[in-house]
Amino acid sequence: MQWLWLLQIIFHPSGRQLSNTSEILSSITCPKCGHRQQEGEECLRCGLIFKKYVEPVLAADLGADRSFHYGDWDGKKKLLLFLALLLALMLYLEVHSGREITHPPGILINSEPHMAQVKNPRPWKVGGKEIYPLVRFWLQGRVLGSQRYSHDFLSDVSPIDIALGWGPMSDQSVLDKLEFAQDNRLLGFEPADQDHPPPGYGTLWQYVKNVHTLPADENIKKQVFSVRTGELIELGGYLVGIKENGQWTAISSLKKEAGVDHTTCLIFWVTDLGRLP
């Protein structure tokens, strides 16, 4: 290879770079026939003129190599910069997309959930489960929290629970005095300061629901997964019961429970999801 031969003639065995033609030619091996000689402008065996051979090879090989090297490093720097910026953007979105949305004090959702009878209800199947529509249902609420599930008896149809509040449970001044927990398909809350609960604490369960969300399609599923704590949303669809192997495995609540011992859970087949201003 030409460049290996050039390294032999340009660098002295001691490691210092040879700086002129006389030094380069003081000890040289002919690249054409391999003859080794001490000095000279041409090979004493085959007559090759070294200067005419060296100059175009230096321009073509080492020049191209230097150009490639620097260009390659410049490209790597640009790639590293792009990756760093992309990582920073991903971290920013991860942090800010999951942050709770806060609001000024005051009730934000005044409307109550409402339902309507289903005419000629017919079940439909999702995998091995039969979904029975019980009532049509609409609910506006403030998102108090959410919890995803992947390995329980409902996760194949209900991969996420969303806790929703309205009335006083949409009021920032009330929520700031509460602590919430969601786990094992249950919702719980208690005063952040046990000695100073918010006004009407004993009645707050009437204004909150833990929604076992059954997205009707992939689009609804994406929207459900994107909700943030503090958002104001509206859900529409059906409260349902679920049969598996001919047995009822889950039936939604159809009334307002009161009291801290109740889970106030809805099994909600969601066909519509909207965000409120």
Q: Could you read off the pLDDT of 56-102 as tens digits, one per residue?
A: 655 554 444 444 454 555 667 777 888 888 877 766 555 445 678 99
- Residue 92 confidence (pLDDT): 55
Task: Give dist(CA 276, CA 176) in Å, integer.
Answer: 21
- Residue 54 confidence (pLDDT): 63
- The CA-based diameter of the chain, rounded to the nearest angstrom, is 109
Mean pLDDT of the region 239-250: 94
pLDDT above 90: residue 244:
yes
- Residue 73 confidence (pLDDT): 59
- Which stretches does DSSP call E strand in the chain? 28-29, 36-37, 114-117, 124-126, 129-148, 160-165, 178-183, 186-191, 208-215, 232-244, 247-251, 265-275
- Average confidence score pLDDT of the chain: 81
Q: How many CB atoms lie within 10 A of CB 182?
A: 18
- Residue 71 confidence (pLDDT): 54
- Residue 185 confidence (pLDDT): 93
pLDDT above 80: residue 38:
no
21-35, 129-143, 176-190: range with lowest mean pLDDT = 21-35
* Length of the chain measured in residues: 277
Selected residue with higher pLDDT from 243 and 84 = 243
pLDDT above 60: residue 264:
yes
Q: What percent of the chain has pLDDT over 90?
A: 57
- Residue 260 confidence (pLDDT): 41
pLDDT above 60: residue 103:
yes
